[in-house]
């Protein structure tokens, strides 16, 4: 892609992931070109790329909209994440270096600081949570696995799920990371995989509960 197309892609993608461009919103090329400071051609290229990443859907009339996932779509995405990230955690445990472990600990410490803020810093939580999971993928040393997970981890539902978390749920997420660190420190792949799968499943149920208007698993708003 051209530099202009990459710029348009980054701007539009960031707006979708943050929720500024909500699910179902129509994506007009002219308005997006003004937003991104580029011409319409790079916007078209960016939209095609985002369509391939399932962030954008195109109608029969070729109009583009922010993808609006059904609960079944979300369930499929989280199920795939659980399988793939569980496998990544097992691989990472076998390949974990002390340096990588220290970086993971630092990322989880940053998560603790974000969730301890008043009010909780959800943007900081998301940033450091993404870094934590990214470091695990890096330690797994599987470019193919990382490529498969890329579109699943960066979906808007991940952003929305975190915004349904109450304080207790955020602490639980941090605690699950601590258990992952314990498994990595002992190079126990089976333990790391089990914790990661449960961690992802819990995130799905947080989203599903909010979708159905149910109470939180932890007994607080989530």
Residues 81-103, mean pLDDT to the nearest whole number: 97
Q: Quote the number of domains for the chain.
A: 2
What number of other Cβ atoms are within 10 A of residue 164's Cβ?
17
Do 178 and 147 lie in one domain? The reply is yes
Do 107 and 190 lie in one domain? The reply is yes
What does pTM read for this prediction?
Answer: 0.77
**At which of 18, 44, 66 does a domain end?**
66
Arithmetic mean of pLDDT over the chain: 88
CATH number where 182 lies: 1.20.120.530
Burial class (CB in 10 A: 0-12, 13-18, 19+), 20: exposed
Residue 219, domain member (yes or no) = no
Residue 107, domain member (yes or no) = yes
Residue 222, domain member (yes or no) = no
Residue 215 pLDDT more than 70? no
Query: Closest by alpha carbon to 154, among 61, 49, 65, 81?
Result: 81
CATH number where 46 lies: 1.10.10.10
Range of the domain at 37: 3-66
pLDDT the model gives residue 154: 64
Residues 137-159, mean pLDDT to the nearest whole number: 83
Do 52 and 116 lie in one domain? The reply is no
Burial class (CB in 10 A: 0-12, 13-18, 19+), 103: middle
Do 189 and 144 lie in one domain? The reply is yes
Do 90 and 105 lie in one domain? The reply is yes
Do 53 and 97 lie in one domain? The reply is no
The tens digit of pLDDT for each residue in 36-89 reads 999 999 999 999 999 988 889 999 999 999 988 778 888 888 999 999 999 999
Residue 38, domain member (yes or no) = yes
**At which of 39, 66, 93 does a domain end?**
66
**At which of 66, 89, 108 does a domain end?**
66
The tens digit of pLDDT for each residue in 122-135 reads 889 989 999 999 99
Q: Cα 85 to the chain's mean position, in Å?
A: 12
Contact call for residues 65 and 27 (beta carbons, < 8 A): yes
């Amino acid at each position: 892609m051209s530099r202009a197309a990459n710029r348009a892609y980054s701007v539009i993608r960031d707006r979708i992931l943050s929720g500024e461009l909500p699910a179902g919103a129509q994506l007009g090329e002219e308005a997006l070109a003004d937003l991104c400071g580029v011409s319409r051609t790079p916007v078209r290229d960016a939209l095609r790329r985002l369509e391939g990443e399932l962030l954008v859907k195109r109608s029969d009339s070729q109009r583009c909209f922010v993808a609006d996932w059904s609960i079944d779509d979300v369930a499929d995405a989280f199920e795939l994440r659980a399988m793939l990230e569980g496998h990544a955690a097992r691989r990472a445990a076998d390949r974990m270096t002390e340096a990588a472990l220290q970086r993971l600990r630092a990322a989880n410490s940053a998560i603790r600081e974000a969730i301890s803020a008043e009010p909780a810093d959800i943007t900081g939580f998301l940033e450091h949570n993404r870094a934590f999971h990214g470091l695990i993928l890096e330690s797994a040393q599987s470019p193919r696995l990382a490529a498969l997970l890329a579109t699943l981890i960066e979906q808007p539902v991940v952003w929305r799920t975190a915004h349904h978390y109450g304080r207790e749920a955020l602490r639980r997420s941090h605690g699950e990371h601590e258990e992952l660190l314990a498994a990595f420190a002992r190079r126990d792949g089976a333990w790391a995989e089990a914790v990661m799968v449960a961690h992802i499943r819990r995130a799905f149920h947080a989203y599903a509960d909010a979708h159905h208007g149910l109470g939180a698993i932890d007994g607080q708003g989530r």
